[in-house]
Amino acid sequence: MTKDYRIYELGEVALQSGIVLPSAQLAYKTYGSLNAARNNVVVLPTFYTGNHSRNEGFFGIGRAIDPTKHFIVSVNLFGNGLSSSPSNTPAPFDGARFPDITLWDNIACQHQLLTHELGVERIALVAGWSMAGCQSYQWAAQYADMVDAILPFCASAKTSPHNYVFLEGVKAALCADGDFKGGDYTSPPVRGLGAFGRVYAGWAFSQTFYREGLYKKLGYENPDALLDDWAEDHADNWDANNLLAKLKTWQLGDISANPMYDGNIEKALAAIKARAILMPCTDDLYFPPADNEIEASYMPNVDFRPFDSPWGHCVASPGNEPEFEKTLDSYINELLSGD
């Protein structure tokens, strides 16, 4: 089957952990063209269970991010099965031996892709949902002089303790499957993957979403049907070690966890020069607005704009909430216009 993405060969990558990952690769796809002024670049990293194709729901002709106007670079997160991941990395870093990779590592490699391979000097906007939004914060703190604007939605600059605990829960459900074998499974641990999906479904939407039966708008007759579908999706479509590698990256998320900021999150937030709009969902159970409101208090050029919806974290999934899409596009237009 023909691939619809390109591979950038990074070679040896020295990770924050001290491990050197040999023959590292970034999978990416571009849309549109770099203009003469070289000022139309929009970077869209991928979210936790996303890839470049799923990012296509956030842009299009006539939308705020438009491939006829912008040079869109959609970069796959390490661990998602396309970029270097447990499932496609040879020994000694295969499977359960894949090293911990931070958002700092991801963005350093994305920076190399953009500057060395694509000839990008400035970024007009970095935007994204969930872990992609976390990467937009990371871009703005790590390369403050390169990024003009960011729009993280349903994301945070630092993974909160409560978010960490949520992730430990889904991790435990997966690893409890006897077939997981500490990550050295010979066939997919389908029971663990299904349990992972079922636990995840309880956090992805809000209590109000379930109480008001909004799952019916997604074609589910009842909550059990949604749970069954989420379990089947994870069992059929995801490698267990890949899920856990990205989960670890999420848990380690902290834009200040590096030599630039020495763990001082306030300093890291204050160093962000980019214009920013923070767009949490009021009912998001693991990226609650209160976290973003605290972040905004340290950022010099920011608007804090929660979106009120019972859809919770999945309000941003393309197609779920049309009003969210309209609002997102209006904010993106605002940032790209420089207003």
Residue 224, helix vs strand vs coil: helix
> Which residue(s) pair with 7 in the sheet?
27
List the structure tokens of 25.
């690769």
Helix ranges (H only) for the chain are 103-112, 131-142, 161-175, 190-204, 207-211, 223-237, 240-251, 265-270, 289-296, 322-337
234 Cβ contact list (under 8 Å, min separation 6): 193, 194, 196, 197, 200, 243
Q: Is 284 a catalytic residue?
A: yes
Per-residue DSSP letters for 263-315? T-HHHHHHT--SEEEEB-BTT-SSS-HHHHHHHHTT-SSEEE--B--TTGGGG
CB 209 within 8 A of CB 202: no
List the structure tokens of 185.
């499974």
CB 5 within 8 A of CB 91: no
Q: Which helix (H) or strand (E) holds 128?
A: strand 125-129
Q: Is 256 a catalytic residue?
A: no
Catalytic pick among 74, 309, 313, 317: 313
> Which residue(s) pair with 20 in the sheet?
14
CB 139 within 8 A of CB 150: yes
Catalytic pick among 284, 291, 309, 317: 284
What's the half-sphere exposure (Cβ side, CA atoms, 13 Å) at 309? Answer: 25
Burial of 326 (0-12, 13-18, 19+ CB in 10 A): exposed
List the structure tokens of 251.
């848990």
Catalytic pick among 83, 84, 85, 130: 130
Catalytic residues: 130, 284, 313
